[in-house]
Amino acid sequence: MQIPKRDSHPADPSEPSFLDRPGEIRNLIYEQLFKRAEPILLHNTDAYHAVEPKRRNYDTDEGFHALTARFETELESRIGAADEFTHDFYLGLPLLLVCRQIYHEAASVFYSDNTFVFSRVLDRHDGRNNPRYDNLDGKAYHQFAYASVWLSNIGSQFGMLKKVHIDVDAMCYHACKHALDDFDALPLLRLLWKNGAKKSPITSACTGRRLDPGCENSFARTEEQKKRYEVQKRQYPRDLVNDFNAIFSSLIGNGQFSLQRFANFDRLIHSVSIHFVERYMRVTFDKEHSHWREFAVDQNGDVVIRQLGSKPRHLLDLPRSVLSKIIQLAALSPEGPILDMDNHTIHGLQLNIWQLSRGSRSDFRIRNMLTHNTNVTMVKTSTKSKTSFKDFHFLRVHCLTRPCCFFVPRWDRSIASFNIALVFETADATSLSMLRINIVGLMKALKDAAKEQVSISISLKSPGEDACEALQSGKIPLPDLERRVFLLLSDVIAGWDVAEDKLPDIWMDGHGKLISATYSASATVLASRVENRHAKLKSVEVQQRGYQFATDLSNNKRDVEGGRRAMWSALRKEYWNDWQDSARKRRVEEDRLDIYVRERDEAIREQSGFDLDEYGERRLGQGGSLRRGI
């Protein structure tokens, strides 16, 4: 919370006030309370202290008690280790609560006249090397990471800071097995850009606070290697200080890296990673596009780009994320491609991109880039109000030919949506509810598709009528349609014994509502029809009833390929794959109810001596029920 800066006045002007004292005297008091001659050490307290184990995270009491004992031992061993990070500023805290003017005067002394040093307790290495109940994130405890957190929390007081150091001496040497390779400088950069800093008040420094001697080079074996290691270890912090200070100055201003132009756009850059040892910076714009820059610092302290990298020689040499966006903008319309299955044409797709080079025509990267997050519409027209669209043959045949096959939803493709638009141009139907569509072919054609991406829409228009004036249904999600087909097939399987497990015709109207399942008449069997009695169920109710049917109709009969039982089993596996667990839970609940009834009857018999069995037989003979209240 930001506290506005303004002058305060005594509540009673006739009474003496602290604000009546001269400013020099008030400043002397503030300095006694808030100014320190020694640097103020800061570290991430939350990431340093061990986290007490929780019983719910462990399977056995023995494992929990063992880790609790380790936690208590570790906690006792750390008592006093972080005392140098504890300060006595609490003595002056009541003064900050007097009024806003005193708060800002005291805060100015605290932030401006002190030196703040972000460091660490000297028994804690960079990485995660502590017991698992610590829940320690090595990067969170690192002084570079905590600096951005603490400085962001002080808000507008950031502008008062004069001396802020990040302790490099307390870092692990790069040969230590617990050393971190890099850190993300973007939070600090955003903080400096936000406050309009022309020169960074944050600098790296050598404080002389060396990490625990256990930070050793495991690769040094001979005495000569150990001596060389000690020399390198002394030189390493000084090199880091010079390089970090130079690179931050370059990143803040308009230096070699020129990142300040991204200051007002939070989503353009994801991270700016600076590698400690090899001295390079990696700017990540998204998950697939990273920009590398190797740098060095000359004798004057200026940053020099050592390797700019070769410029792309061809459009296809650009980073994949950039190339994908270029190809989509050049090749696809904003609405996405429209596949006209009547005329076998594609609208909204420019194939000139394949003429970039000979290799691009067979390059699968372009195909994947065209389908990445693309909205695809497939249109098929019928002149009859009752149709099967020739068993949706166009979905199985035309989508196997290029480039149509590129836009068929599969599990390994990232198509945003795939809409099958069924258009009726017929004069004998006046409403969507009069249309009839046999969707068996649709179910078969899309059995291997990514179901969550597919939807069906239906429109009815008179010949020559504008598409905008046509009656249209909303988009019908394929998963919801298949769940309702499962319920209808369950009624068919339970009620009709058809030879060879024949698959019925499944009819849907223009609103996407399932009407019925029918069998045509043959020489030996009469025509039959099963009405859909589940049309008014909500999605939650459909899911619950599906579990019931999956349990009640399960058997060991072999499914005939292409039959109703095979489709029913495939839908059960798709949407109710845990039906056995549900059935098991239901049996357990029934067993519990039976046990409860027996125990209740036994308790009543023991208390009253009344023979419930004999009474129950008489009631049942009269049409009564002893368990009516259960």
Rounded distance, CA 326 to CA 317, Å? Answer: 12
Q: Which two tokens stand for residue 371?
A: 């389908």
pLDDT at 193: 80
pLDDT bucket at 225, cuts 50 / 70 / 90: low
More confident residue, 351 or 461: 461
Could you tell me which of 332, 443, 434 has the C-alpha nearest to residue 389?
443
Q: Which of 60-64, 172-176, 597-601 has the lowest mean pLDDT?
A: 172-176
Burial class for 503, CB neighbours closer than 10 Å (0-12, 13-18, 19+): buried
Are the CB atoms for 489 and 520 separated by under 8 Å?
no
Q: Which two tokens stand for residue 291?
A: 């920009």
What confidence category does residue 455 fall into, taking pLDDT thresholds of 50, 70 and 90? very high
Helix H, strand E, coil C: the string for 524-540 is: CCCCEEEECCCCCCCHH
Mean of all residue pLDDT scores within the chain? 76
Across residues 578-582, what is the average pLDDT? 76
Q: Which two tokens stand for residue 29?
A: 């008091």
Report the 10 Å Cβ neighbour count for 98. 14
Predicted TM-score (pTM) of this structure = 0.48
Q: CB count, 10 Å around CB of 308?
A: 10
Sequential DSSP letters for 45-94: HHHHSPPPP-GGG-SSHHHHHHHHHHHHHHHHHTTTTTGGG---GGGGHH
Average pLDDT over residues 375-397: 88
Which pLDDT score, from 0 to 100, does residue 305 have?
66
Please report the pLDDT score of residue 364 as a whole number: 47
Q: What is the pLDDT of residues 396-449, one digit of tens each?
A: 776 666 666 777 776 555 677 889 999 998 877 678 888 999 999 999 888 888
Q: What is the pLDDT of residues 314-358, one digit of tens each?
A: 666 666 667 777 777 777 888 888 888 888 888 888 777 766 666
- Per-residue confidence (pLDDT) for residue 531, from 0 to 100: 92
CB 350 within 8 A of CB 331: yes
Confidence bin at 256 (pLDDT 50/70/90):
low
Whether 308 shows a pLDDT value over 60: the answer reads no
Q: Given pLDDT bands bounded at 50, 70 and 90, which one contains residue 627? A: very low
Mean pLDDT of 8-25: 80
Between 253 and 478, the higher pLDDT residue: 478
- What percent of the chain lies above the pLDDT cut of 90? 12
**Rounded CA separation 427/424 (Å):** 9
**Host H or E run for residue 184:** strand 182-184
Amino acid at position 378, single letter: M
Lowest-confidence pick of 38-52, 125-139, 199-213, 471-485: 125-139
Q: Which of 436, 444, 460 is nearest to 381 (CA)?
A: 460
